[in-house]
Amino acid sequence: MRIAYLECFSGISGDMMLGALLHAGVSEELLKRTVASLNIGAQLHIGRVDRSGISATKVDVLMSPRAEHSHDHQLEPHSHGHDHPHQHSHAHHEATHEGKHQHGRSLSAIREIIANSDIPESARDTAIRAFELLGEAESGIHNVPIESIHFHEVGAVDAIVDIVCAAVGCHALGVDGFVCSPLNVGGGTVKCGHGEFPVPAPATLALLKDAPVYSSGVKAELVTPTGAALIRALDCRFSDFPKMKVEQIGYGAGTRNPSGNPNVLRISVGELVEAEQYSSKSEAYETVTVLETTIDDLTPQVMGYVTERLLAEGAFDVFVTPAQMKKNRPGSLLTVLCDQQNAQRMREIMFTETTTIGIRTRQERRDCLRREIVPVGTQWGMVRIKESSFNGAVTNFSPEYEDCRQIAEANGVPLKQVQQETIAEYLEQRKRDAGDAIRSRSTHSHTKSQVA
């Protein structure tokens, strides 16, 4: 399994992420094309800087007069400081702008900009998700609907560029997942549009719920809302440095350059030695969030609808169990399994779509078998087999229902016949693969003996 490991010993921000990606091998031309496709009057300036003896890549966004800020120069570098929705003050930046914000952007406007860009679909989804997470954090902090949130600094040209280019760069790495170190959030205070707050800022702290964070004592904001949103949008897992074969290394520089404290983000790309511990498809265990509520006054039709909607919104599993409730009334126990990042969304659906007035939440360990999708050719076409294994041995396998159903309907054959023939082809395929492996080992051994 190929991963990218993010070391946030000096925090993370959008520009630090871009610098690290470029230093690790992501194409400059790719990111410049990405910026051009956004059509928001921006360009990238990429250079090398020294951060306490570490050579790192520094990225600045050059904005034209038609962007969100007014400037005297035709193109002027924007100093990436730490960015906050609703924030009009640049007082906590090391460099400030003479221009002022003209307006904010709504989440729907930012979605439209990203949707109209010429970038891969997975990168587009990641970028939109990052802004949605930022909006959800601000919505919760201010207790207002998410669409009434207007992003100022986070919605500015430079932050849109940071988030979209980071999503494209992460997609270009071609990794199976991202793993992140504990995050150094810094310390001191930060000035936001609503006053001065302790670090981490409210939006950053909301985004980092359940993530491992600490402060090294540095009196500066090290993790920005943009950086925190990217960590969450990439669905990072958290760990100390994993067992891996490192192939590429990148250092991305922040704006500050404090003495003796390298203000860089390091990214290491390579193959995991023990992939089972980190892959969402093959890990030994994971922590899941369990949401439960008991209901005795909801119709079966609505319960079925709620179940389908929860699954469509990203729940791992949803099930309904008969329950005996107060006054001997028959009821149902609705249980939802999801990740912590998606738990609030699940709760919102449960509260708005059912009659419950309370939801129980807990964290549980879920042990999983390693899973792999194996394509199998049949007389009707390709069918996917979901294969599960334990300690290297296959323990379960099953044809994907939807594949079999579509073939059955298209060809007018019984569903069970499609399933049975798919299993037979799968078993034959395993025999052929095993035979090929034995012959390959035999040939290899014979060649070695001749050489000896």
pLDDT for res 165: 96
Contact 254, 10 (CB under 8 A): yes
Going by C-alpha positions, the residue among 40, 22, 108 that lies closest to residue 78 is 40
pLDDT of residue 341: 79
Task: Please report where in the chains the tokens 């959008």 appear, as a residue.
Answer: 14
- On the CB side of 19, CA atoms within 13 Å amount to 31
* pLDDT at position 104: 67
CA 66 to chain centre: 31
Burial class for 412, CB neighbours closer than 10 Å (0-12, 13-18, 19+): exposed
pLDDT of residue 356: 94
Task: Kindly give, in sequence order, each residue whose CB lies less than 8 Å from that of residue 408, ignoring residues fewer than 6 positions away.
Answer: 414, 415, 417, 418
pLDDT, position 439: 62
Contacts of residue 238, defined as CB under 8 A and 6 or more positions apart, other chains included, come to 179, 180, 181, 182, 211, 212
Q: What is the pTM of this model?
A: 0.57
Q: What's the pLDDT score for residue 65?
A: 56
Distance in angstroms (rounded) separating the CA atoms of residues 239 and 181: 5
If 0-12 CB within 10 Å is exposed, 13-18 middle and 19+ buried, where does residue 375 land?
exposed
CB neighbours of residue 182 within 10 Å: 15
Q: Which of 107, 250, 262 is nearest to 169 (CA)?
A: 250
Residue 436: per-residue pLDDT: 64
Q: Name residues whose C-beta falls within 8 Å of residue 15's C-beta, 6 or more positions apart in sequence.
A: 58, 59, 60, 61, 80, 162, 252, 253, 254, 255
State the Cα–Cα distance between residues 5 and 270, nearest whole angstrom: 9
Domains of the chain: 2-277 (no CATH), 285-367 (3.30.70.1380), 370-451 (3.10.20)
| Residues 6 or more apart whose Cβ sits within 8 Å of residue 309 | 349, 353
Q: What is the pLDDT at residue 76?
A: 36
Contact partners, residue 299, CB within 8 Å, separation at least 6: none
Q: What is the 3-state secondary structure (H, E, C) of 145-198?
A: CHHHCEECCCCCHHHHHHHHHHHHHHHHHCCCEEEECCEECECCEEEECCEEEE
Give the chain's count of helices (H) and strands (E): 11, 21
Q: Which residues of the chain have pLDDT under 50?
A: 67-102, 153-155, 276-283, 448, 451
